């Protein structure tokens, strides 16, 4: 049996436990032996992206301690996975850090590339707009960005289309950033919100009932605007839809 | 002022922000169509990037080769260590010819060196002949975009400026009428010019020749009429051989505006019999950037502006929010190399979405360099105190599972009992226009403990 460590981003742990639960249940249903290392906190991206990677030693060491010895480390976030893959390191145990970097997968990437999921026995009878979060899209290459001249693909859309009765809608700007950007969301508040509003508008215009995405952080940002402005749309993490949630 | 503050101002006019955003996205969309018309586009990008790798690794040799061949062609070659020296050289050539009237085609390098201000303060008449540049020159503004200098202005504003400066009819903002007026105005300047200044898009080491790309033909018009041509060139503009040129010209215009090629791709090799030709090779911080291993790739830039058109930040904040000669993503990795303190907010004017790196025709890893500049800023103690303070706390919390667990619980509890009016206080930037998520009763960790272990 594939032994998987579940890596749940800190903000998902605190604010969106249902996304962690959906990820866990989904992996279990697909035959993985899943373990959640209890002492995990965060991958250290917030501090590193703010310029303090040089002070991330304790966070990195803790991450390495928590996630050593598994076949795979799976995380329902493209951004956190990318941070680990690009920046996790250790002065004292670089070999282990390297192992972890290479074994870390974003959830969709793991389902698509490793488990090669073919069928899903779930239904989601709604119109769904897919928000392709940037770090997953361009960093992990979960899909083709519109900038590049390569055959178009999107692993998330491919998986979602296996869900029964789902209707994925086309967007005007399918690979545009939502403006979350971690601390950017508060340091450039005005611009961040403007970007979020523009992104939501695209989904609403195409009559999506739900914005689905691989990163709860982007969805949290857009949900914050949706709730404040009373907009007629909801957000769902891809893990929830794949695991069979309803609205 | 920080990028965030300047952006807040820009965003106050939402219809204009939307117009700016949509206009640049339209340019980006044209670029998509045009680049996708070339099956080997990605291969071309790699090739261009590799050619520039070669140039950056051998720049000393190529510069000498270029100088030798240019001299043999009868061109005067000058070397300028910085902007000041560059401006002095230009001035000395002007003075040698007792010249007064100067026409200049688009050159970001001369903007970088503040040449116009230098010449004007010394009593010379400099006319920018690129239409967009002439518009911002009338407005006494710097360009807000390196390819589309007046993209921040609507035609009604241009009409006002033209009415004031070249006496067009008040209120007539018909583009054709205004362009015609600009042509007539500029034609006179071309005919009377003593000296023509141009930038350089590509210098070819093998031939000593150089190439200037324009859409309006204004570089040619200036050079063909004036008895003296001064070409100002950043040292990174070199390419080794003539055969490499096609790789770049195929990428440049497509990336910039979606055109297959610029209307004018002008090759200059030697002066006419009655003409004098000068090339000024300018360093101005480039060798310093070359020595910075993580940032040297930024010198591959061919100034197409595609990263500006694609950038969701630039499109909604405008060129002036960057307060730098080169705005947008590429500017945000170049400017800190000039003045780290002044430009310290620029590497943070990004969500690190990576669109700039994917659109870049020479594959500069722009968003990764933004991340790296952030590290340099914090390591040099140029970070803001509130940020350092909050990140210090974050680090301590995230390094200790116990503290993280306890604080998370307290935070969720407080959020669930505090009234929304108190949560969304003015100090909470998140809550100004966004709700916080409803805190769940238990964290995932608590749920897992109960249900699985």
Q: DSSP string of B271-326?
A: --TT-EEEEEEE-TTHHHHHH-TTTGGGGG-----HHHHH-HHHHHH-GGGG-SSS
Interface ipTM: 0.97
Closest C-alpha among A162, A148, A64, A147 to residue A108: A162
User: Domains of chain A by range and CATH?
Assistant: 3-114 (no CATH), 127-243 (3.40.50)
| Residue B407 sits at the chain A interface (C-beta within 8 Å) | no
Flag whether pLDDT at A39 surpasses 90: yes
Residues B360 and B222 in one domain: no
Tell me whether residues A20 and B444 touch, CB distance under 8 A: yes
Number of independent structural domains in chain B: 3
pLDDT tens digits for A179-197?
A: 999 999 999 999 999 999 9
Q: How is residue B425 annotated by DSSP? A: -
Residues B87 and B140 in one domain: yes
Closest chain A residue by Cα to residue B31: A147
Q: What is the CATH number of the domain that holds B189?
A: 3.40.50.10420
**CA-CA distance, A36 to B452, in Å (whole number)?**
9
Residues B271 and B318 in one domain: no
Residues B24 and B43 in one domain: no
Residue A36's region, left for phi above 0, alpha for psi from -120 to 50, else beta, is beta
Residues B376 and B402 in one domain: no
Tell me whether residues A145 and B358 touch, CB distance under 8 A: yes
Tell me whether residues A224 and B453 touch, CB distance under 8 A: no
C-alpha neighbours within 13 Å on the C-beta side of residue B27: 23
The verdict on residue B216 lying in a domain is yes
Residues B31 and B72 in one domain: no
Nearest Cα of chain A lies from the Cα of B259 at a distance, in angstroms, of: 16
Residues B334 and B446 in one domain: no
Q: Indicate the SS3 state at residue B194.
A: coil
Nearest Cα of chain B lies from the Cα of A124 at a distance, in angstroms, of: 23
**CA-CA distance, A2 to B240, in Å (whole number)?**
53
Strand A3-6 relative to strand B101-104: parallel, antiparallel, unpaired?
Answer: unpaired
| Residue B353 sits at the chain A interface (C-beta within 8 Å) | yes
Q: Which residue has the tokens 């070339």?
A: B38
Question: Mean pLDDT in chain A?
Answer: 97
Tell me whether residues B399 and A58 touch, CB distance under 8 A: yes
Residues B152 and B207 in one domain: yes
Residues B43 and B33 in one domain: no
> Contacts of residue A191 in chain B, CB cutoff 8 Å?
4, 7-8, 11, 313, 316-317
Distance (Å) of CA B216 to CA A54, B134, B162, B307: 49, 12, 19, 23
> Contacts of residue B450 in chain A, CB cutoff 8 Å?
none
The verdict on residue B209 lying in a domain is yes
DSSP per position, B3-60? HHHHHHHHHTSHHHHHHHHHHHHHHHHHHHHHHHT-TTHHHHHHHHHHHHHHHHHSHH
The verdict on residue B212 lying in a domain is yes
The verdict on residue B389 lying in a domain is no
Q: How many other β-carbons are positioned within 10 Å of the β-carbon of residue B188?
A: 10
The verdict on residue B256 lying in a domain is yes
| Residue B378 sits at the chain A interface (C-beta within 8 Å) | yes
Label residue A122 exposed, middle or buried (CB < 10 Å: 0-12, 13-18, 19+).
middle
How high is the pLDDT of residue B314? 98
Of A16, A59, A146, the CB nearest to B32: A146
Residues B232 and B374 in one domain: no
How high is the pLDDT of residue A89? 96
How high is the pLDDT of residue B99? 96
| Residue B358 sits at the chain A interface (C-beta within 8 Å) | yes
- Where does a domain end: B383, B416, B442? B383
Closest chain B residue by Cα to residue A181: B351
Tell me whether residues B383 and A139 touch, CB distance under 8 A: no
Which residue of A4, A15, A225 to mutate against B (max B Cβ within 10 Å)? A15
Q: Indicate the SS3 state at residue B126.
A: strand
Tokens of A113: 């590339």
> Contacts of residue A40 in chain B, CB cutoff 8 Å?
401
| Residue B389 sits at the chain A interface (C-beta within 8 Å) | no
| Three-state DSSP string of chain A | CCEEEECCCHHHHHHCHHHHHHHHHHHHHCCCEEECCCCCCCCCHHHHHHHHHHHCHHHHHHHHHHHCCCCEEEECCHHHHHHHHHHCCCCCCHHHHHHHHHHEEEHHHHHHHHCCCCCCCCECCCEEEEECCHHHHHHCCCECCCCCCCCCCEHHHHHHCCCECCEECCCCCCCCCCCCCCCHHHHCHHHHHHHHHHHHHHHHHCCCCEEEECCHHHHHHHHHHHHHHCCCCEEEEHHHHHHCCCC
The verdict on residue B374 lying in a domain is yes
> Contacts of residue B317 in chain A, CB cutoff 8 Å?
191
Q: Which residue has the tokens 């200059």?
A: B268
pLDDT tens digits for B248-292?
A: 999 999 999 999 999 999 999 999 999 999 999 999 999 999 999
Tell me whether residues A221 and B401 touch, CB distance under 8 A: no
Residues B33 and B55 in one domain: no
pLDDT tens digits for A86-128?
A: 999 999 999 999 999 999 999 999 999 999 999 999 999 999 9
Nearest Cα of chain B lies from the Cα of A138 at a distance, in angstroms, of: 6
Q: What DSSP element (H or E) covers B196?
A: strand B195-198
> Contacts of residue A15 in chain B, CB cutoff 8 Å?
412, 437, 439-440
Per-residue burial over B250-287, b if 16 or more Cβ lie within 10 Å, else e, is bbbbbbbbbeeebebbbebeebeeeebbbbbbbbbbbe
Flag whether pLDDT at A72 surpasses 80: yes
Tell me whether residues A187 and B32 touch, CB distance under 8 A: no
Flag whether pLDDT at A70 surpasses 90: yes
- Where does a domain end: B215, B249, B284? B284
Nearest Cα of chain B lies from the Cα of A162 at a distance, in angstroms, of: 27
DSSP per position, B232-281? EEEGGGEES-GGGHHHHHHHHHHHHHS-SS-SEEEEE-S--TT-EEEEEE
Tokens of B351: 């969500």
The verdict on residue B291 lying in a domain is no
Beta bridge partners of B202: B211
Nearest Cα of chain B lies from the Cα of A238 at a distance, in angstroms, of: 17
Residues B85 and B212 in one domain: yes
| Cβ(A110)–Cβ(A7) below 8 Å | no
Q: How is residue B368 annotated by DSSP? A: H
Beta bridge partners of B238: B203
For chain B of 453 residues, list the mean pLDDT of each consecutive stretch of 10: 95 97 98 98 98 98 98 98 98 97 96 97 96 97 97 96 97 97 97 98 98 96 97 98 98 98 97 96 98 98 98 98 97 98 98 98 98 98 92 94 94 88 83 94 97 87
Which domain, by its residues, includes B199? 39-284
- Where does a domain end: B383, B411, B443? B383
In chain A, pLDDT over 70 holds for what percent of residues? 100
Of A49, A191, A224, the CB nearest to B434: A224
| Cβ(B233)–Cβ(B203) below 8 Å | yes
Q: Which residue has the tokens 């969720």?
A: B412
Q: How many other β-carbons are positioned within 10 Å of the β-carbon of residue A87?
A: 18
Q: Which of residues 208-227 of B touch A (CB under 8 A)?
A: none
The verdict on residue B189 lying in a domain is yes
Of B35, B317, B444, the CB nearest to A17: B444
Tell me whether residues B444 and A180 touch, CB distance under 8 A: no
Sheet holding A33-35, edge to edge: A33-35, A3-6, A72-75, A104-106
> Contacts of residue A183 in chain B, CB cutoff 8 Å?
348, 387
């Amino acid at each position: 049996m594939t032994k998987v460590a579940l890596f749940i981003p800190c903000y998902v742990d605190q604010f969106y436990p249902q996304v962690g639960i959906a990820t866990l249940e989904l992996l279990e249903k697909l035959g993985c032996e899943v373990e959640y290392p209890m002492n995990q906190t965060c991958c250290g991206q917030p501090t590193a992206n703010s310029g303090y990677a040089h002070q991330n030693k304790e966070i990195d060491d803790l991450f390495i301690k928590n996630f050593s010895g598994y076949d795979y480390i799976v995380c329902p976030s493209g951004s956190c996975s990318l941070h680990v893959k690009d920046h996790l390191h250790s002065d004292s145990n670089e070999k282990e850090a390297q192992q972890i970097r290479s074994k870390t997968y974003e959830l969709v990437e793991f389902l698509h590339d490793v488990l090669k999921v073919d069928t899903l026995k779930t239904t989601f009878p709604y119109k769904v707009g897919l928000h392709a979060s940037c770090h997953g899209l361009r960093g992990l290459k979960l899909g083709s960005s519109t900038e590049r001249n390569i055959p178009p693909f999107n692993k998330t859309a491919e998986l979602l289309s296996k869900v029964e009765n789902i209707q994925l809608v086309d967007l005007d700007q399918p690979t545009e950033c939502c403006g979350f950007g971690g601390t950017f969301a508060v340091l450039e508040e005005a611009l961040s919100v403007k970007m979020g509003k523009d992104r939501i508008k695209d989904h609403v215009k195409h009559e999506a009932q739900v914005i689905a995405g691989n990163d709860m952080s982007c969805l949290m940002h857009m949900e914050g605007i949706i709730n404040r402005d009373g907009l007629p749309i909801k957000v769902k993490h891809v893990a929830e839809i794949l695991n069979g949630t309803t609205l | 002022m920080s990028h965030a503050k300047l952006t807040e101002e820009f965003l106050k006019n939402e219809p204009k922000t939307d117009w700016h955003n949509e206009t640049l996205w339209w340019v980006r969309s044209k670029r998509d169509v045009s680049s996708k018309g070339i099956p080997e586009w990605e291969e071309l990008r790699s090739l261009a990037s590799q050619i520039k790798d070669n140039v950056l690794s051998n720049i000393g040799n190529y510069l000498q080769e270029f100088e030798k061949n240019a001299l043999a062609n009868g061109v005067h070659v000058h070397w300028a260590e910085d902007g000041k020296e560059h401006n002095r050289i230009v001035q000395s050539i002007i003075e040698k010819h007792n010249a007064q009237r100067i026409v200049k085609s688009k050159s970001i390098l001369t903007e970088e060196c503040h040449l116009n201000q230098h010449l004007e303060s010394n009593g010379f008449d400099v006319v920018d002949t690129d239409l967009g540049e002439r518009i911002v020159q009338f407005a006494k503004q710097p360009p807000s975009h390196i390819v589309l200098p007046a993209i921040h202005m609507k035609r009604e504003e241009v009409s006002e400026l033209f009415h004031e400066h070249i006496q067009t009819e008040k209120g007539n903002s018909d583009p054709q009428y205004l362009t015609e007026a600009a042509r007539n105005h500029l034609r006179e300047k071309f005919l009377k010019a003593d000296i023509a200044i141009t930038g350089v898009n590509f210098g070819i080491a093998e031939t000593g020749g150089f190439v200037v790309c324009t859409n309006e033909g204004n570089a040619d018009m200036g050079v063909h009429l004036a008895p003296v041509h001064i070409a100002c060139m950043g040292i990174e503009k070199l390419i080794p051989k003539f055969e490499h040129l096609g790789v770049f010209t195929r990428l440049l215009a497509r990336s910039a505006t979606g055109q297959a090629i610029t209307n004018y791709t002008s090759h200059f090799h030697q002066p006419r019999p009655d003409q004098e030709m000068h090339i000024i090779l300018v360093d101005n911080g480039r060798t310093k950037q070359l020595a910075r291993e993580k940032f040297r790739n930024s010198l591959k830039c061919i100034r197409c502006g595609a990263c500006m058109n694609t950038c969701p930040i630039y499109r909604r904040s405008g060129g002036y929010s960057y307060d730098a000669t080169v705005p947008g993503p590429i500017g945000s990795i170049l400017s800190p190399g000039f003045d780290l303190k002044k430009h310290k907010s620029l590497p943070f004017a990004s969500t690190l979405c990576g669109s700039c790196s994917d659109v870049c025709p020479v594959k500069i890893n722009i968003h990764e360099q933004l991340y790296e500049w952030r590290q340099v800023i914090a390591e040099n103690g140029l970070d803001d105190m509130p940020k350092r303070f909050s990140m210090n706390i974050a680090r301590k919390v995230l390094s200790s599972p116990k503290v993280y667990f306890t604080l998370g619980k307290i935070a969720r509890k407080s959020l669930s009992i505090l009234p929304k009016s108190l949560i969304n206080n003015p100090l909470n930037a998140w809550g100004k226009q966004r709700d916080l998520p409803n805190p769940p009763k238990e964290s995932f960790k608590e749920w897992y403990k109960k249900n699985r272990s």
